[in-house]
Amino acid sequence: MTNDRPTCVIDCRVSDKQQLQGNGLDDQTKVGIRVANNRDWEILKVFRKQHSATTTERDDFDEVLAWIRASKKPVNFYVCKSIDRFTRGGYEEHMRMKKKLKEIGVTVVDSQGIIQDEKNTLEHLGIEFPWSRYSPGEVGEMVVAYQAKAEAREILTRLISGSVHARRNGYALRRAPDGMRNEEVFVDGRKRVIRLPNDRAHYFRKMFEMRADGRDDQEIVDTLNAMGFKTIENKHWDRSDREYPRVIGVRGGNALTVKQMQRYIGQTEYAGVIHEKWAEVPVRAQYEGLVSIDIFNKANRGKKYIQENPDGEVKIIFNYSPWAKMKRMKDNPGYPWKCILCSLCRSEMLGSASRGKSGKTYPAYHCGGHKTGNRAHKGIRIPKDEFEKTVNDYLTGLKFEDGFLAGLELHLVDKYRSREQEILLQSSVISRSVSDLKAELAQKVEAFGLAKSEIMRRHLEGEAEDLEAQIEKAESVRTRVEVNERSIRAFRRHAKHLMEHPAEILANTKSLHDRRRLFGLFFEEIPTYDEIVNGTPKLSCIFKLSEEYKRTHGHFVTLRGIEPRFTP
């Protein structure tokens, strides 16, 4: 005996996790089963899922269609509780979805009876045309579908408006960035969210501080990994069962990479500034960041710059150069002194070679000749040899007073004493990380001895080799971190070489960024070419000595042949 009962599927949907945790799906399931039982339909499948119905890209609906097409037994009806559970995309989307189901022979039925069976106005004559078929409830479907869309718009407007106002007022939304956590507070009787540091905050403070000091990215990554940094672990879910997803893996828990570190460095929220793509302007957060804006700017090195205005507003500037109002230029080793400023517009000089009629090239530093922008002035062009000889002669002429290096060493020792606790703390953190790695290595070695499978032994051997490499790298970082007075004396010798050969060292520095930073040792601000020619740059106290040393010794750097030599 064959079963000729009509068949159906029941579709139950909620919009978000809060509705999922309630009884929404259970209620819709009971209603759908009642509809099927009342009509003596066979239930082939009950779909229960969380998905927004306001979009036209409904992968949940596509899954239902795919299941119906693949079903061994034909499906006659698609049962839903109401039209707003079917879609909130309006009447056009409602009709599109109905048409999709109709194409595979499925009729939509809602428990409220708004959707009615189609009728044929010429049925009494036994004929039918496309125009003669209609749904008696079409007007009702249209009204309810538009009401569902309007209701969704009102709900989303209230939710999004509240979120936007909270964000523009400096409060947090969504999950906190790594190194911070969300904390709920009440402001004027309303619940708001702020960020506070968590137990991983010290990694990010160290990351920003090291990069602000000009340290190499790989060195920063190695140091943080030696301190035990691992990326946050996130669960990987199998959501084929949308109501009861299950964990099938874990992502994260890996060592820091340079690319990942650079992404962290660019997040303004670590400096207490909220910058959203959909927001009109960046705003100060109602909570402190992990680092100051000044450290953030130094760490980002002009790629992203937070500008603080006198009125308290902040602005995000990309490709900002504190040395001149221009985009950062690419390094060109053939023109090492491009960081010198133009005397007319104080933009960094450009370097290029023009070609004469004879085919000979004439390299030069130049600026100006533009109608708009910072360089809208008369063009100036200085031959490369002349320009570089002038700069080299000036730097070579810098002479440091006797006694400076002794004062420098005393100053560095004082600095070391003030930071000794921080250095020891960092060293101890790395030591604990090394101990943990060695304990893990010991476990792998023990497991290797007990393993009988050759595949397992190879796997454990590979893990042990990785751990040994991590231990070796962490110990080398710890050695660099452990600064002592012997290291200071070695630095004194390096500083002496730098001060005796400034032109040579600056010219041979490969990175334009590093060359600018070294210029900061000699000048309060990057000089213009005319200031170099006239000998009038604003010299800085290269390494700040203690106030006592400055009072007793006065200026410790002079230009040979310009100022008289004296001993106070």
User: Rounded to an integer, what distance in angstroms lies between the CA atom of residue 463 and that of residue 461?
Assistant: 5
Higher-confidence position of 331 and 293: 293
User: In sequence order, what DSSP letters do the residues of 374-417 get, joined into one string?
Assistant: TT-S--EEEEHHHHHHHHHHHHHTEEEPTTHHHHHHHHHHHHHH
Query: What is the tens place of the pLDDT at every residue in 421-476?
Result: 566 566 667 677 767 767 776 776 677 666 767 777 777 677 777 777 777 777 66
Q: Is 363 exposed, middle or buried (0-12, 13-18, 19+ CB in 10 A)?
A: middle
The mean pLDDT value of the chain amounts to 76
The 10 Å CB-count burial string (b at 16+, else e) for 446-462 is eebeeeeeeeeeeebee
What are the start-end ranges of the H helices in 77-137?
Answer: 83-86, 91-103
- Would you state the pLDDT for residue 205? 92
Query: What is the tens place of the pLDDT at every residue in 115-141?
Result: 877 777 777 788 878 777 767 667 778
Q: Which residues contact 282 (CB under 8 A, 6 or more apart)?
A: 268, 273, 274, 275, 306, 314, 315, 316
Mean pLDDT of 174-200: 89
Q: Where are the beta strands (DSSP E) in 434-517?
A: none
- Would you state the pLDDT for residue 555? 40
User: Rounded to an integer, what distance in angstroms lies between the CA atom of residue 392 and that of residue 437?
Assistant: 51
What is the pairing mode between strands 361-367 and 7-14?
A: unpaired
Query: What is the tens place of the pLDDT at every residue in 377-425?
Result: 888 999 999 998 888 888 777 666 555 556 655 655 565 555 555 665 6
User: Rounded to an integer, what distance in angstroms lies between the CA atom of residue 77 and that of residue 111?
Assistant: 12
Asked if 115 and 109 touch (Cβ cutoff 8 Å), the reply is: yes
| Alpha-carbon distance values, 236 to 245, 249, 250, 437 (Å) | 10, 5, 5, 26
Q: Is 551 exposed, middle or buried (0-12, 13-18, 19+ CB in 10 A)?
A: exposed
Paired tokens of 229: 């940094």
Cα angle 504, 508, 514 (rounded to 5 degrees) comes to 110
pLDDT for 25 beyond 90 = no
Paired tokens of 250: 């874990």
Percent of the chain with pLDDT over 90: 17
Residue tagged 């004929």 (tokens) = 127
Q: Of 227-241, 337-351, 401-415, 477-491, which one has max mean pLDDT?
A: 337-351
- Residue 180 corresponds to which amino acid? M
User: In sequence order, what DSSP letters do the residues of 211-224 get, joined into one string?
Assistant: HHTT--HHHHHHHH
- Would you state the pLDDT for residue 371? 72
Domain range summary for the chain, segments of one domain joined by +: 7-150, 180-318
Asked if 548 and 387 touch (Cβ cutoff 8 Å), the reply is: no
User: Rounded to an integer, what distance in angstroms lies between the CA atom of residue 493 and that of residue 18?
Assistant: 66
Residue 518 host element (H or E): helix 512-522
Fold type of domain 7-150: Rossmann fold (3.40.50)
Q: Name the CATH code of domain 180-318 (choices 3.20.20.105, 3.90.1750.20, 1.10.1060.10, 3.40.50.2000).
A: 3.90.1750.20
